[in-house]
Amino acid sequence: MTALLEIRDLVVTYRLGFGRTLRAVSGVSLQLDQGRTLALIGESGSGKSTVARAVCGLGPVESGSITIAGTDVTAAPDRAVAAGKIGVQIVFQDPTTALDPRWPIWRSVAEPRGRLFPPSPDRHRARAVALLERVGLDAAMADRRASQLSGGQRQRVTIARALSAEPRLIILDEAVSALDVSVRNEVLALLDDLKREAGLTYLLISHDMGAVIQIATDVAVMYLGQIVEQGPAQQVIGAPAHPYTQALLRAVPSLEGLAMPARMRLTGEIGDPARPPSGCRFHPRCPSANAHCAREIPIARPYQGRSVACHRVEELA
């Protein structure tokens, strides 16, 4: 299988002013194969959205490469345009920002396609209406404004809008997080159907482990700008190996029956990415940390069907 998205050694640093910088992503490598759904999980501030914005060209890249369908977009003069043309779309948590309140919703749906392909307004409207129907909305809604729709309907409109650009890869950055559970489940089921019908691939960013369990095929766990564990969802969620993944999943009530050591409880705060801890970045919070952990940076290596960056993963099993 060839990777649709391959990220190698991505580094992203934000400039904070007065000469201060913050390295939000420190050497992230990820591979996402065609037709899969990779969930990127981790606490707030771990750098998930920064990775997402780098992939679609909306945020900075300091070094490393991002290859989409064989093209390295980091070299493109306008990375957002290059990513859009190759077929990357992003859906955010708040649908209102993506939808112009003055426009009828069909126009918001048609807009990305109008930017990427030659104009032909009549066909754009007809296509937009067909897309609204495809995401489960009535064609009669095409002339309404975003404010006349419910939150779930608005998120369906932003999904139709992403589809209008004929994407291959859709990044869902907390796209279902604001919806209540039943609407969320419907939208996730819709996304999974669309994936099969349109041959899509998803990068799913979510705090909501229910959403991850429902649609992810693969999981990557981020801590302070680095990936600590990644592999098939069955392995990473079913039998987490990295102490951080274990602690993160232990906090999820629906996963209470999971096989993992009882000592793991996530305490303390995620550190400051501007001043990350030495050695393993998780060591100040890890109950299994020793002096070696505080000194040496753990390198990711294969462990039981996934990759794990922890010095002690074998002995802790």
* Rounded least distance, CB 234 to ligand ATP, Å: 24
DSSP string, the chain: --EEEEEEEEEEEEEEETTEEEEEEEEEEEEEETT-EEEEE-STTSSHHHHHHHHTTSS---EEEEEETTEEGGGSSSHHHHHHHHTEEEE-S-HHHHS-TTS-HHHHHHHHHHHHS---HHHHHHHHHHHHHHTT--GGGGGS-GGGS-HHHHHHHHHHHHHHT--SEEEEESTTTTS-HHHHHHHHHHHHHHHHHHT-EEEEE-S-HHHHHHH-SEEEEEETTEEEEEEEHHHHHHS--SHHHHHHHHT-GGGTT----TT----S----TTSPPSSSTTGGG-TT--HHHHHSPPPPEEETTEEE--TTHHHH-
Question: Which one of 37, 50, 74, 201 is in contact with ligand ATP (CB under 6 A)?
Answer: 50
Sign of CA dihedral 81, 174, 308, 24: positive
Cβ closest to ligand ATP, residue 84 vs residue 273: 273
* Rounded least distance, CB 293 to ligand SF4, Å: 3
Question: Which one of 3, 22, 76, 190 is in contact with ligand ATP (CB under 6 A)?
Answer: 22
Give the x/- contact pattern for Mg ion in 41-60, rule: CB under 5 A: --------x-----------
Question: Which one of 36, 38, 48, 237 is in contact with ligand ATP (CB under 6 A)?
Answer: 48
What single-letter amino acid sits at 8? R
168 binds ligand SF4 (CB under 6 A): no
182 binds ligand ATP (CB under 6 A): no
Which of the stretches 150-158, 183-191, 250-258, 282-290 binds ligand SF4 when contact is defined by CB under 6 A? Answer: 282-290
Question: Which one of 125, 144, 207, 312 is in contact with ligand SF4 (CB under 6 A)?
Answer: 312
Could you say which of ligand SF4, ligand ATP, Mg ion, none residue 45 binds, taking C-beta under 5 to 8 angstroms by partner kind? ligand ATP
Could you say which of Mg ion, ligand ATP, ligand SF4, none residue 310 binds, taking C-beta under 5 to 8 angstroms by partner kind? ligand SF4
Number of chain residues interacting with ligand SF4 (CB under 6 A)? 12
* Rounded least distance, CB 23 to ligand ATP, Å: 9
249 binds ligand SF4 (CB under 6 A): no
Question: Which one of 17, 19, 20, 44 is in contact with ligand ATP (CB under 6 A)?
Answer: 44
117 binds ligand ATP (CB under 6 A): no
Which residues are at the interface with ligand SF4 (CB under 6 A)?
243, 280, 282-283, 286, 288-289, 293, 298, 310-312
